[in-house]
Structure 1
Amino acid sequence: MGSQTAVLTICLFLIINLTYITSTTLSGTSDVSVNGKTKIYEAEVSPSNDHHTLRKRDVGKEFHKSNITTKVNQLNDSHQQLMVHWAGEGSDVVICLAKDSNTANFAKPSAVYISYNYGDSFDNKTEFFKFSQPDGKPVFASIDKFFTHPKFISHLVFLDIVHKVIFTTTDYGKSFKYYSLSFNPVDISFHPENPSLFLIHDDKHSLWVTTDFGMTWSRNQEFVKVYFWVVEDNGEQYLVVQREEPTTSSVIAVTGLLPGQTSSLSLVIRDVVDLWVKGEFMFVTRKDPKDAQSLDLLVSHKRGEFKKAVFQSELRCQAYHIVDADSVRVMVAVSHSEYMANLYVSELISDSNDIKFSLSLERVFCYFQDKMWTDSWLRLQSNVKDEKEPRIHFDLSDKSFADVHKVEGMKGIYIASQVLDTVGINPGVEHLRSVITFDWGGEWRPIAAPHYSSDHQPIQCNAANNCSLHLSQKFAQMYPVTRAAPILSSKSAPGVILATGTLGSSLKGHVGLYMSQDAGLTWSQILQEYYLFNFGDHGGVLVAVKYFKSNGETNILKYSTDEGESWKDHAFTDEDLRIYGLMTEPGENTTIFTMFGSARSQHQWLIVKVDLKNAFTYNCTPDDYKFWSPSSGDEGVKMTCILGVKETYERRVPHSNCYNGKDYDRPIKMEVCPCDAEDFECDFGFDRAVGMAQCIRNKKTLYNPYAVPEWCQPGQFYNRTKGYLKIEGDACVGGRDRHFLPDLLPCPYDERKEFLLLAQKDRIVRFDLATLQREELPIKGLQNVIAVDFDIHNNCVYWADIINDTISRQCLGKDNTNTSEILVENDLSSVEGMALDWMSNMLYFVDGIKCRIEVIRTDIDHEGRMRYTVLGPSVLRKPRGIAVHPAAGYMYWTDWAVGDPCVSRASLDGSGVKRLFGKPDVEWPNGITIDFIAERIYFVDAHEDFIGSADLDGKHFRKIIHNKEEVTHPFAVAVFKDIMYWDDWKQNGLYSADKDHGVSIRAIDTNLPGL
């Protein structure tokens, strides 16, 4: 898999290396720190250049133009590929391996160049790689790759697969030793703490170990498919190995590899297909015993027992790609078919027997070799190298990938490529769009386009016309037509993102370089066309150079010290070069940038080092900094808090042209935020439909999230979900959390029947929701009842009769024989609606003629029952329906006012009146109700013929049903669990439908005169 040389520090595990074998059903995204030190670049080499001479390297030329120092080194090397490694961690060593990528030239000699002065000059070390073959004939090695110890960075091993030879050095290549091997080496992995111990995986799947830095070898394991070094928090180090024997495949732990220790084996899990380890998690796939074409994913957290992953989908699971694993959360892309993959995020890792994964994003672009897009160019690209196409080389042994970028330095922010609905078997950039999440995948949104182009022309691109910004990731980097550089973000510059992008409905379009300074909330176009790009000095300087693939040769390096507002050109040579790569030391905290290219006439590797420190006029002082947090004032994209915390970072003021310095330590402040929607993700059994912020129940699954738990006994309480789950690690407190947190309900003593009340003029009917059988309640003397409500606790029905202008109540005994009582009988004209506050025993009612909302106490017998007017004619014109939310302290009502209809909200005492909807949204709003599970209002409009829904603040409105025969004159509406119910005066019918999508409309009864 190429060099794996960096240390990933975690709470319990330390993943150091992995083998060259790529599993077909389980893979993962490497952390930036793992591959950040090593890059591989490829040049365009014509057949006439297909020969390599190891000539004396030219002395570098130095340029001093515009006080920017430039150093050009001519390696006089015509190999096609250059592998560049920065030692880093305070070292000035840079190592370059020149070789051919063409398998036909695999046996040809390679060349090694090492700089000990940060790229000012390079020593040709190729003579150190000359050795004698068994027949005595001297030959130069064909080094395929080299490996650096993650901690002892002066220790390196160079691998010659062709001649079965390794070269070792403990002093950055100042001296070398070489050893012949009796086996064919393929991959090397260092012990995380002992530099003398490393492993080699050979082509026969055996694992060999040396404890004297390559001098002697012993076979440790056979049948090895994949392996990982693991370090526990107590310092214990061991191997996790998947052995694929002829009859079984199992995972074992190997301990005691150090000198003086006794090696021992222990079984971890058996009957596995593939193994992957990331962070505190260990993953394995196993065949589904119920479906031969499906695979189960099992997860072990902190070396605990393996638990089955349960995905919120009925689709077949064929392969898995671990996108990220952070503390107690996992993001995984799952292949469901050859052209379909979804992204899922785990819930809290708990003590339950399984780990639930909720759907995060549908149709994420993901590639698995032999599983997805098998007939497309991707399959060919993974196995064939294009000799004519110059490109930045990516690690082709990593066959599987998901097009998801984790924004470094920020929490919970990811950018993903989503496949559009219309795509054939050969995907292109026109089939992908980009989306971004700021809450660990809880909600994804299009990326906001900039308002102006790089030449200050207005850009007309917004969601209303299906236009947004789309950013290139690995797919576009691999795509033969684009070969675009992928997204760049860094912990050293939190909030700064650079990316190649296009504006429109997909990744296809005119390309430009885009920058975000606020973690992806807002973007600006800083250059047009294809560029290679990077940044340094902790984000204080941006650099870009024309990409040879699309723009041809250049001798200009563009740089900006004011976050891309203005750019300056630096001529780094007198003649144009073909630039194949642009690199800086990992960490992006220096001002030194290195370009790799060649002259246009003939390919010879050139290394151009540019130091932009003199582009700054002075060293920064405290006055040059300000505290910044990722936020935007634009409606719809404000994200001042991320995971419940407002992190404010110290950043340099853009127009302060000062130097941060390599040792700059960025201060960070933390402030806990009040909870809001972005602090919650969809609970298991719920998902967010495209274009909707609400979590709605996934009716395709058999899981019932509202069911009373089996353990629930009378006297106990249980949590009933509202469809949301607080994001793990989110630290928000208070705010609007009540809208999303589950309701704490008492365990029922007995199973009560669920029913629906319906006023039918001179009678009140109860429909059993299980059988849909109707029953007329034994209430006498009814003339024209319009408004009804029910007190579940006391088993009492309330109603208003507009003929005798009274409000009455009747409590039903076991035999339904109790008599009724009048609660209000004077100063009423036309009671259109009523709503019971069951928490305070207050009954609210609407008088449409007197234009009043009034309230009485139902738990006292005093004359008048403390009746008073909550709202009067100064606010109301022609009020109709009413609903109350006792826990939230709100009441909602509809008003038919001629020319000024509305749906409004106020506190239960009448204060804080807020109009939620008016014209043209509503015309004749009638009944209104509250879905207490989803925390939304539902209302009907008899003129516009729809049933609509919004959250409790009137936001995220959508029409559930409209322009249907069943809603030609809707009057009342009710919601229970997943179903909404309404009656229609024109149809004389009672109907039901799915409350989220309006589908599955059902006529319960169409013979109901007198509604």
Structure 2
Amino acid sequence: MAAKLTGLLLVALLGCPVSGDHRRDFSELPAHRLEVFQQLASLSGASRYKRDAPHSRSAQQQRDGSSSCGGGTSDQAKLNKNTHKYTFEDDDGSTVTLAWVGDGTGIILALTTFNLPLAWLFFGGSSRLYRSEDYGKTFVDVSHLLSNYYIRKEFGINVGPEHSKKVILTADVSKRLGQSGKHGGVIIRSSDSGETFHSILLPFHPGQPMLYHSTNSEYLLAYSTDHALWFSRNFGATWGTVHRFVYTYSWGPRNTIFFSTHPDGIYDKDAKGVLELKRTTDFGGTFVTLLNKVYSFGFAGRFLFASVISNQTLPRSVYVSADQGDSWNKAQLPPVSHEQFYSILAADDEMIFMHVDEPGNSGFGTIYTSDDRGILFSKSLERHLFSDTSGTTDFTNVTSLRGVYITNVLDKDNNIRSVITFDSGGEWKPLKKPHNSHCDTTAKNSQMCNLHIHAAYSISQTLDVPLPPLSAPNAVGLILAHGSVGDTISTMIPDVYVSDNGGYTWSKALNGPHYYTILDSGGLIVAVESSPDKVIHNVKYSTDEGQCWKKYNFTNETFTFVGLVSEPGTKSMNVSLWGYKQESLYSTTWLSITIDFEELLTRDCQEKDYVKWLAHSTEAGEKSDGCILGYKETFQRLAKASVCRNGRNYVVSKDQSLCPCTMGDYMCDFGYYRVGDSDECVEQPDLADRVLEFCLQGKEELLKTQGYRKVPGDKCEGGFTPNRSEQMTNIKCEQILSLEDPLPKITIIIIVISVLAASVLMMSGIILIFKKYVCGGRALVYRYSVLQTNTDEACIADNLDSGRSNTERVYHDDSDVDLLE
């Protein structure tokens, strides 16, 4: 019997230094990791928005989601001529790492590595590097460029930002020199997209991948195994020390570097909460101490965050700076005990989404949204699911339409349900039931039948969910996701659902789990069935956003599929299927099959192929129809019936017009919240009849409000205009800690940031890792992993795909956890 998906009990986050295996407080995730998480999928279509009349689908097509819509024979012949197979002969690599270099260059680097620890024995290691200039159709073995070094796979292929053509590989010196590497580490770098490489001997041993500056790829930061922060201004040719005994660090604007360090000049992994946050703008020549008693910090959008401990009797506090640390303000959030944590879910130049954990290891908390200064926060969503035991939250930014986010909540019956917001957290609603789906058999209440989306949490629980929800900025309104239809999310095998209007309505696109990807800015979608026990011969594709699917038999030989990849940016017309052929029990061969769809969509789209579409349209003909965040957007989108190519030069075209203000353009002010589906903001009971005051730049400020403040980024004019004022007094208040105050030592909970910034989508490098494990005397086990560089283990076949530890606990219906009222 299928059980309802349940959550993990949340435990306190304890943090770690940057050289550890845990997440870094407030630090941005590596850009290539973020992008791969967002990019390795695509979209299918629904028929919500008014374009051409949608194709009708037969009952059989609706059942299997992949029946031919005609023209299959001619397509098969065209695609046969444009399908290219490459076999990695005589390569025993257990891991394959892929990286795209540049945008539209067609250059892919593939690094294979092999080592096999077995008990106390070690059978050496090997690395081979391959390079493709035609989107993976062919590869050239360029392993000689590695100078016989063994490349550390945990450092990956470190690709520079934008069109820098820069690549860094980190070598394992001990295997090359036969010693412990006392002379320092080695990087192998390229400035021409991997055509040539040159090795550089480092004056330190790197403990993490090099961190590129976002706009100047010559600038690098490196963190050494002895906790020192190093910098280079010439792409690693020469190095200088920024500071020793560094805990966390981040690039800021221009030449700015932020980092935390111990005031006593030591490194103590348990010293969080006594650190100093410093800033340098001249690569360590001079320093400015911004804060002390710091536990963690991070820089995202235009905001600098810091978690600060005042003393042992008070809870920790979050401070925010919008001027790179010159001035600080305390974030006006509910106080939390040392058993709770904050987590920044998203941040940009306009606002912050902050998760505040509930007490009692409940596994959920409340989402608050900030004003445009990052200071005042208002309650947005209660009982938001956030599991620390798996380190995941389902909070997803739908990049294909502004203001849209999807996440999951944990109800009082310990069931998980999905909700969506179209106005940046102002209001959350259930996802509508797809028009071509029925409530699943696990539903207890058929009157509450909605779509529920599987995301990172489901993946962490090893459910059969290959990919999280996917959207792309240049495929307007499209979302593709795995999900189930019922009164709550289910552990039954999920299906693939699609929305073509930013999540307002959905349609079932494919039965069962699939890998999927967007090509040609949404003009083409490709999907491959996820079935570990089944040999894959067919790829499915759609030119009408998933209404009709055709099948292409890309091979007749035995081929075990492990991953579907395409160039980041969703503009490519090429897709590669990676997998292996098993030659014998102990011998396998990696191969990739690349399909070029350019011959399928040979005609360039013309103006007649596009139609106008009003985003966020729900009440056609109404004056306010389409108004969201204070303005309307009318896009020019490809008509579903148009079978043509958008091309690499395609740019999303849109017109904007302002709207009069309504309650929907306002968020609830500090001390107020919305109840149910009402637009009205009511006062929080614990703050009723109290003077609302907060501290800004050392002076007390009084807030007079009717309970509303405009959503950051909202452009509405006139209409509903509630009174609101902030009155500065001459009363001094404790804004930040004195830099001379003694620093207490106390254990607190870290503040975690997982910033899914839009700029990440523009990075030119994207990395994918495939792993296979070989165990003597046992069947071969293969694993497909999205940037999880776990070390090879010997004969752990039974647990290869399990991300859960033995200490994890799950929710039960009789749980006595404290619930937020």
Seen in structure 2, the aligned counterparts of structure 1 residues 559 and 252 have a Cα distance that, compared at 3 Å, is same
2:417 aligned residue: 433
Kept after mapping to 1: 8 A contact 2:92/2:114 = no
- Structure 1 counterpart of 2:652, from 666, 671, 676: 666
Matched, 1:446 2:430: yes
Matched, 1:173 2:173: no
SS at match of 2:599: helix
1:511 aligned residue: 494
Seen in structure 2, the aligned counterparts of structure 1 residues 253 and 491 have a Cα distance that, compared at 3 Å, is same
Query: How far is 1:577 from its partner?
Result: 2.4
- Structure 2 counterpart of 1:565, from 539, 544, 547: 547
Consecutive unaligned residues of structure 2, counting only runs of 5 or more, are 1-16, 41-73, 175-184, 696-701, 728-820
Kept after mapping to 1: 8 A contact 2:367/2:384 = no
SS at match of 1:604: strand
Output the TM-score relative to the length of structure 2.
0.71
2:787 aligned residue: none
Seen in structure 2, the aligned counterparts of structure 1 residues 21 and 238 have a Cα distance that, compared at 3 Å, is farther
Seen in structure 2, the aligned counterparts of structure 1 residues 103 and 483 have a Cα distance that, compared at 3 Å, is farther
Query: How far is 1:403 from its partner?
Result: 1.9
The 4+ residue runs of structure 1 with deviation greater than 6 A are 22-25, 31-34, 37-41, 101-106, 313-317, 457-464, 705-709, 743-746
- For residues 413-463 of structure 1, the C-alpha deviation after alignment (integer angstroms, 9 at most, x for no partner) is 10112123244xxxxxxx42211001111111111111114xxx8999999
Matched, 1:160 2:171: yes
Distance, in Å, in 2 between the alignment partners of 1:103 and 1:363 is: 44
Number of aligned residues: 638
**1:455-854 residue pairs with structure 2 within 5 A?**
465-508=447-490, 509-549=492-532, 552-599=534-581, 603-616=588-601, 618-633=603-618, 640-690=626-676, 692-701=678-687, 704=690, 721-735=705-719, 737=720, 741-742=722-723
1:242 aligned residue: 260
Kept after mapping to 1: 8 A contact 2:303/2:322 = yes
1:207 aligned residue: 229
- Structure 2 counterpart of 1:121, from 119, 138, 161: 138
SS at match of 1:310: coil
Letter in 2 for 1:724: Y
SS at match of 1:678: helix
2:377 aligned residue: 357
Seen in structure 2, the aligned counterparts of structure 1 residues 484 and 432 have a Cα distance that, compared at 3 Å, is farther
Output the TM-score relative to the length of structure 1.
0.58
Distance, in Å, in 2 between the alignment partners of 1:433 and 1:518 is: 21
- Structure 2 counterpart of 1:421, from 372, 388, 412: 412
Kept after mapping to 2: 8 A contact 1:38/1:85 = no
Letter in 1 for 2:405: Y
SS at match of 1:623: helix
**1:88-127 residue pairs with structure 2 within 5 A?**
88-99=102-113, 108-127=125-144
Matched, 1:36 2:42: no
Distance, in Å, in 1 between the alignment partners of 2:24 and 2:716 is: 37
Kept after mapping to 2: 8 A contact 1:489/1:496 = yes
- Structure 1 counterpart of 2:354, from 332, 335, 340: 332
Matched, 1:26 2:25: yes
Distance, in Å, in 1 between the alignment partners of 2:306 and 2:689 is: 25
Query: How far is 1:500 from its partner?
Result: 0.9
Distance, in Å, in 1 between the alignment partners of 2:632 and 2:219 is: 45
Distance, in Å, in 2 between the alignment partners of 1:102 and 1:678 is: 59
Kept after mapping to 1: 8 A contact 2:446/2:486 = no
Query: How far is 1:719 from its partner?
Result: 8.5
Q: Which has the higher contact order (CA 8 A, sep 6+)?
A: 2
Consecutive unaligned residues of structure 1, counting only runs of 5 or more, are 1-17, 42-62, 132-138, 379-399, 424-430, 710-717, 747-998, 1000-1011
Distance, in Å, in 1 between the alignment partners of 2:706 and 2:445 is: 29
Seen in structure 2, the aligned counterparts of structure 1 residues 149 and 629 have a Cα distance that, compared at 3 Å, is same
Letter in 2 for 1:155: K
Kept after mapping to 2: 8 A contact 1:344/1:360 = yes
SS at match of 1:36: helix
1:253 aligned residue: 279
Distance, in Å, in 1 between the alignment partners of 2:422 and 2:37 is: 30
Kept after mapping to 2: 8 A contact 1:334/1:342 = yes
Select the structure that is richer in strand: 1
Kept after mapping to 1: 8 A contact 2:671/2:684 = yes
- For residues 632-685 of structure 1, the C-alpha deviation after alignment (integer angstroms, 9 at most, x for no partner) is 5479x9972221111111101101112111111221110112333322221111
2:96 aligned residue: 82
Letter in 1 for 2:723: P
Query: How far is 1:407 from its partner?
Result: 0.8
Kept after mapping to 2: 8 A contact 1:73/1:121 = yes
1:714 aligned residue: none
Query: How far is 1:120 from its partner?
Result: 1.9
Work out which of the two has the higher radius of gyration on C-alpha atoms and give 1 or 2.
1
Query: How far is 1:547 from its partner?
Result: 1.2
Query: How far is 1:544 from its partner?
Result: 0.6
Seen in structure 2, the aligned counterparts of structure 1 residues 167 and 99 have a Cα distance that, compared at 3 Å, is same
Query: How far is 1:161 from its partner?
Result: 4.3
2:811 aligned residue: none
Letter in 1 for 2:281: T
Seen in structure 2, the aligned counterparts of structure 1 residues 21 and 408 have a Cα distance that, compared at 3 Å, is farther
Larger deviation, residues 602-611 vs 339-348: 339-348
- For residues 466-491 of structure 1, the C-alpha deviation after alignment (integer angstroms, 9 at most, x for no partner) is 22111121112222232431011011
Distance, in Å, in 2 between the alignment partners of 1:93 and 1:124 is: 14
Seen in structure 2, the aligned counterparts of structure 1 residues 684 and 264 have a Cα distance that, compared at 3 Å, is same
Identity %: 26
- For residues 136-164 of structure 1, the C-alpha deviation after alignment (integer angstroms, 9 at most, x for no partner) is xxx64444323122245322110124633
